[in-house]
Amino acid sequence: MDNLNRLVWPDTGRVFAVWAMIMLHVTGADWHDLPTNTSDWAWLTVWTGLVRWCVPVFFMISGFLFLSGPASGKPFSKILTQNLLRLLTALTFWGAFYTLYFNPPSEPFSMAGLWAGIKSFGIDWYSGKLHYHLWFLYAIAGLYLIIPLLRPLVNEGNKSIRYYLLGAAFYFSFIQHFIYWGLGINSAFQVPELSVWLFYFLLGNELAQVNLTNRMIPVIILLLSVGFGLVIWPTWYYNQPPHQWEEYFIGNKSIGVALSSMGVFLTVRLFISQIPANGKLARFFLFMAPLSFGIYLVHEFFLQMLFHNYIRIKDLGNPLLNAPFIGLLTFVLSAFSVWVLRKIPVFKKYFL
């Protein structure tokens, strides 16, 4: 795989992942509201199960890029002054934007009111209580800060330590969560630093080193089929009356989501790496990839605009067709707005 193709497949993965994330928010808006014994709810469950890999794949791609990929040689000082700074400025700008959008001031302007608003926003910013979809920025920022600790584990080639850390993160994120779901027993042995996001961050780097050939296709198909099966069917089954509301199987700590995320990651690696590096498809994904971060930030604005105009599943019905329609419409509107806003240098550098 040449250097250019090493850039195409991660960029393609990010484009797919941001569309899947929009689909997740489209389906999630009504998934909790519709009766679980209806066909509409069943189709929403299928769609939400098919896109649950989106956030894990974001972390997996970042893990590859910064631990052994194109950004692996980037000095930590530049990660702080470029990547982390951009995250924090984007978090501040869009956090303020969504705070004002969803909670506009109800009183006339005054300096006292302004100061109280700034103080309240600062507390929410620090405590992570800004608009719900901005949580991702906090998580990825934390991983950026420990990159200097993770790189030696990768660069020194000590596989036993790498696998131990990956296994420990898997245990504390997945196994303990499964035991708690199945038996109701919560372990007192907790290591919060070995989070599910660290697991996916490390897993992406490991899977990027796998020697992929067409002989791996049956393995990928198995990962996808078992993974999606373990997400969709149990979620449908355990939410049918008389069962209580159950979201374990669609969570990021479920085995099904982990397997399907691995399958999607390897699928993108295998097939996108085989497309011509100078072809139209590769150029399209390389054009779209820089917009993906901005699409993630602004899509909620357009999604709420559509919802307020009754363009949502519970109003249109037929989730099988309307869910991807709303997702694609939101994606296009977001991508175009980000493309325009990135013409403004300060937006391109700090906010998108």
Task: Evaluate if residue 194 carries a pLDDT over 90.
Answer: no
DSSP 278: T
Task: Evaluate if residue 4 carries a pLDDT over 60.
Answer: no
Longest dimension (CA), the chain: 67
266 contacts 207 by C-beta, under 8 angstroms = yes
Task: Evaluate if residue 212 carries a pLDDT over 80.
Answer: yes
Distance between alpha carbon 330 and the CA centroid of its chain, in Å?
A: 16
Long-range (24+ apart) CB contacts under 8 A made by 133-137 are 133/25, 133/296, 133/300, 134/91, 134/94, 134/95, 134/98, 136/55, 136/58, 136/296, 137/87, 137/88, 137/90, 137/91
Distances (CA, A) of 327 to 112, 113, 181, 238: 41, 38, 31, 27
Most confidently predicted of 87-96, 154-163, 192-201: 87-96
Range in 35-44, 152-161, 265-274, 314-323 with the lowest mean pLDDT? 152-161
CA dist 66 and 59 (Å) reads 11
